[in-house]
DNA sequence: TTAATTGCAAAAGATTTGCGGGGTT
DNA sequence: AACCCCGCAAATCTTTTGCAATTAA
């Protein structure tokens, strides 16, 4: 058989191959879109981005692929309210999301203290923690008129899919 | 007019009256079902329980009522996974949910430390916390063979709606 | 009386699926 | 060649809504 060079394969594309998934053209495209996404797109948005790269892709396939990758642990499904599921690549270490209730922007953050606390709480109740889910809904703090405007938050601000 | 005694009104029924909602027969029934619920039923389940008390109720009305009560702050909508929204009466103080991944049972718990931490985190990111959401998914800890079996957890164990 | 509420069934929005054709291993 | 995957459209599932009839205030 022909040697299949992974050289041009996206990060998620490589993960698919590692897990022995059959790499079709559309999977490669979707994997690339996901690899390049820095936000938390929903299926509609993934579909738009994928079609931009290759028009021979249907929403059904995006749904099927996103589902498959979630089962394989490559993707994680999120619910930020708004009816549609949103996705992001699985990353090392837990991180959480703060949703700006006015703009819909999503800010990611880590907090080891919180993670540890979750384990302690489950423990206290007689359980082993399998996973947990945390979302903060918040409003940007108004800048006090007398102080110099606050600089941008250190955490990355990632917007969601289009409205 | 005839004096309308609240005496036989359910707890949530009284809250509806306080907020000036028009009390129809179906609302009274749904309010009663909600007042008596000790779990986190979804709309289907609420509908079943309501119909048991009065067959002249439609699912549409349950959907409409549950939505109205949520807007009025009387109910809170929950998402424990599984596709359908689930509801519980708003209570004093924040409490959270641990879902047993094997049985679907829901355990409620409070944790002031966690609540405080959430405010601190939002603050740190430059936001005012509006609300937050936390769910633990966990598995009951196996009883070590050498020790006497653990007694029931102190927290109340509430199951969800039927599967 | 008057405006709000209800039932019914149709509509909507998101996601899944059956099927015949096509691509990957 | 064998089996998996794709596109399409129809099907599901949950929740919402238009409309005419009914009811609380």
Q: Which residues of B89-127 are buried (b: 16+ CB within 10 A; e: fewer)?
A: eeeeeeebbbbbbeeeebbbbebeebbeebeebbeebbb
Per-residue confidence (pLDDT) for residue B15, from 0 to 100 = 97
Same domain, A82 and A100: no
Q: Is the pLDDT of residue A151 over 70?
A: no
Bridge-based pairing state of the strands B127-140 and B96-100: parallel
Same domain, A59 and A125: no
Helix (H, G, I), strand (E, B) or coil at B17: helix
Residue B147 lies in a domain: no
Per-residue confidence (pLDDT) for residue A25, from 0 to 100 = 95
pLDDT for A38-73, tens place per residue?
Answer: 999 999 999 999 999 999 999 999 999 999 999 999
> What interhelical angle do B43-53 and B25-36 show, nearest 10?
120
Residue B68 lies in a domain: yes
- Give the pLDDT band (50/70/90) at residue B7: low
List residues forming the annotated binding site of A. 132
Interface of B with A (CB under 8 A): 79, 98, 100-101, 107, 109, 111, 113-114, 117-118, 121-123, 125-141, 150, 153, 155
Residue A152 lies in a domain: no
End residue of a domain, out of A56, A89, A122: A89
Please list the residues that pair with B99 across neighbouring strands: B106, B137
The domain total for chain B is 2
Q: Which residues span the domain enclosing A27?
A: 11-89
Same domain, B32 and B64: yes
Best residue of B94, B107, B127 to probe chain A, by most A CBs closer than 10 Å:
B127
Same domain, B68 and B99: no
Residue A63 lies in a domain: yes
Are A139 and B128 a contacting pair, CB within 8 Å?
yes
Which nucleotide is closest, CA of A58 to its C1'? Answer: D7
Same domain, A80 and A124: no
Searching chain A, which residue's CA lies closest to the CA of residue B78?
A81
Residues of B in contact with A131 (CB under 8 A): 136-137
pLDDT for A73-127, tens place per residue?
Answer: 999 999 998 889 999 999 988 899 999 998 889 999 999 999 999 999 999 999 9
CA dihedral B102, A119, A157, B132 (to 10 degrees): 70
Q: Which residues of B62-82 are buried (b: 16+ CB within 10 A; e: fewer)?
A: beebbebbeeeebbeebebee
Residues of B in contact with A129 (CB under 8 A): 136-138
For C15, which residue's CA is nearest its C1'? Answer: A63
Bridge-based pairing state of the strands A106-109 and A157-158: antiparallel
Same domain, A83 and A128: no
What is the spatial distance, in angstroms and rounded to an integer, between the CA atom of B33 and the C1' atom of C14?
30
Positions on chain C within 7 A of a protein C-beta: 4-10, 13-18, 23-25
Of A117, A131, A137, the CB nearest to B137: A131
Query: For the domain that residue B132 is a member of, what is the CATH number?
Result: 3.30.1490.190
**Is residue B83's beta carbon less than 7 angstroms from any atom in nucleic acid strand D?**
yes
- Give the pLDDT band (50/70/90) at residue B10: very high
Same domain, A73 and A105: no
Residues of B in contact with A100 (CB under 8 A): 127
Residue B161 lies in a domain: no
This model's pTM is above 0.75: yes
Residues of B in contact with A98 (CB under 8 A): 121-122, 125, 127
pLDDT for B52-107, tens place per residue?
Answer: 999 999 999 999 999 999 999 999 999 998 889 999 999 988 899 999 998 889 99
Same domain, B83 and B16: yes
Residue B146 lies in a domain: no
Residue A62 lies in a domain: yes
Of chain B, the end-to-end C-alpha distance in Å amounts to: 46
Same domain, B101 and B130: yes
What is the spatial distance, in angstroms and rounded to an integer, between the CA atom of A22 and the C1' atom of D2?
14
Positions on chain D within 7 A of a protein C-beta: 4-9, 13-18, 23-25
Same domain, A110 and A81: no
For D3, which residue's CA is nearest its C1'? Answer: A22
Residue A107 lies in a domain: yes
């Amino acid at each position: 058989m022909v040697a299949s060079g992974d050289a041009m394969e996206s990060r998620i594309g490589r993960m698919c191959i590692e897990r022995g998934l059959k790499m079709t053209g559309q999977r490669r495209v979707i994997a690339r879109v996901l690899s390049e996404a820095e936000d938390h797109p929903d299926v509609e948005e993934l579909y738009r981005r994928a079609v931009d790269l290759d028009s021979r892709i249907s929403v059904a396939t995006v749904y099927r692929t996103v589902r498959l990758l979630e089962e394989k642990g490559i993707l994680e499904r999120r619910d930020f309210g708004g009816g549609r599921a949103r996705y992001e690549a699985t990353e090392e270490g837990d991180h959480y999301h703060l949703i700006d209730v006015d703009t819909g922007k999503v800010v990611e953050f880590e907090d080891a203290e919180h993670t540890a606390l979750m384990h302690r709480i489950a423990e206290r109740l007689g359980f082993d923690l399998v996973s947990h889910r945390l979302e903060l809904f918040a409003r940007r703090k108004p800048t006090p008129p007398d102080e110099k405007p606050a600089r941008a938050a250190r955490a990355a601000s990632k917007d969601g899919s289009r409205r």
